[in-house]
Amino acid sequence: MSDRLRLGLNIDHVATIRNARGGAHPDPARAAAMAAEAGADGLTIHLREDRRHIRDGDLDAIRLASTLPINLEMAATEEMCAIATAFKPHAACIVPEKREERTTEGGLDVAGQHNQIAPIVRALAEAGSRVSLFIEPDPVQIAVSEVLGAPVVELHTGKYAELWLEGGQVAAADELENIKIAAREARSRGLEPHAGHGLTFDNVKPIAAIAEIAELNIGHFLIGEAIFTGLPAAIQHMRSLMDEARQEQAA
């Protein structure tokens, strides 16, 4: 369980910067091409309903640019399901999506939206994608995820990251505990836990040290940091913090 923790690099914000000018630069496919050598194990992209991040044409361009597995984040809508089942990403992560939000706020309510989500999970699985559900670290959401037949749950670390910003590790301690309990609960139900949202060089190690977690998906901070140090250096440093956390936890 404490094998190498995978790093999924979310490259949406390369596209966000490109889209600010409407042209072709910076190209998310170029970021995709650099990711593996720098230490990323996968690419995460979110095709939003309003296309504010990647656009439809980026899907094939990103796939052509890298051999890394693609994790496509998507809303539980018919439009996205049709695109994802045609594109057949390695993994498809269903996320809640509201037009007006700045980023994915809160986890998916799989318990409340079971009937809407169930056929989409089935369709994605039939298309060959590994389905993941982006949920709060909450035992009820995990139990329903198992019933829905998704092999993966991605635990939302947004609240943990916000608390860390407000008061550091002490302020985030209770939420860290919730994430640990949720990761254990997911494993005990045969689900593979991933985690992500708001992770940074400062707050990543306690999450990376949770042995049950198999993958972290990190975007905004790394793309922001890339402005100052370059993308490979930002990825490499995150990679080394994650590996250190795993080694310290195993020692």
Q: Where on the chain is the footprint of ligand PXP (CB under 6 A)?
A: 10, 12, 46, 73, 93, 95, 103-104, 134, 154, 196-199, 217-221
Q: Measured from the CB of residue 24, what is the shortest distance to ligand PXP in angstroms? A: 22
Shortest distance (Å) from residue 9 CB to ligand PXP: 9
Q: Toward ligand PXP, which CB reaches closer, 85 or 104?
A: 104
Closest contact distance (angstroms) between CB of 12 and ligand PXP is: 6
- Across 139-178, the runs of DSSP E, i.e. the strands, are 152-156
Residue with smaller CB distance to ligand PXP, 137 or 250: 137
Q: Give the active site residue among 13, 73, 175, 185.
A: 73
CB of 221 to ligand PXP, least distance (A): 6
Report angle CA 245, 215, 67 to the nearest 5 degrees. 120
Q: What share of the chain is helix, strand, coil (3-state, %, to 5)?
A: 50, 15, 35
Under 8 Å between Cβ of 191 and 148: no
CA pair distance 213, 196, nearest whole angstrom: 10
CA distances in angstroms from 148 to 22, 96, 114, 154, 186, listed in the order given: 39, 16, 8, 14, 13
What is the closest distance, in whole angstroms, from the C-beta atom of residue 164 to ligand PXP in the complex?
12
Q: Cβ distance 145 to 108 under 8 Å? A: no
Name the active-site residue from 13, 53, 156, 197: 197
Number of Cβ within 10 Å of residue 67's Cβ equals 9
Residue with tokens 């301690």: 173
Select 85 or 217, whichever has its Cβ closest to ligand PXP: 217
- Identity at 130, one-letter amino acid code: R
User: Residue 29 or 54: which CB sits closer to ligand PXP?
Assistant: 54
Q: Nearer Cβ to ligand PXP, position 28 or 198?
A: 198
Candidate list 46, 53, 156, 194, residue with the active-site label: 46
141-174 burial: b if 16+ Cβ within 10 Å, else e: bbbbbbebebbbbbbbbbbbbebbeeeeeeebee
Query: Does the active-site annotation cover 197?
Result: yes
Residues marked as catalytic: 46, 73, 197
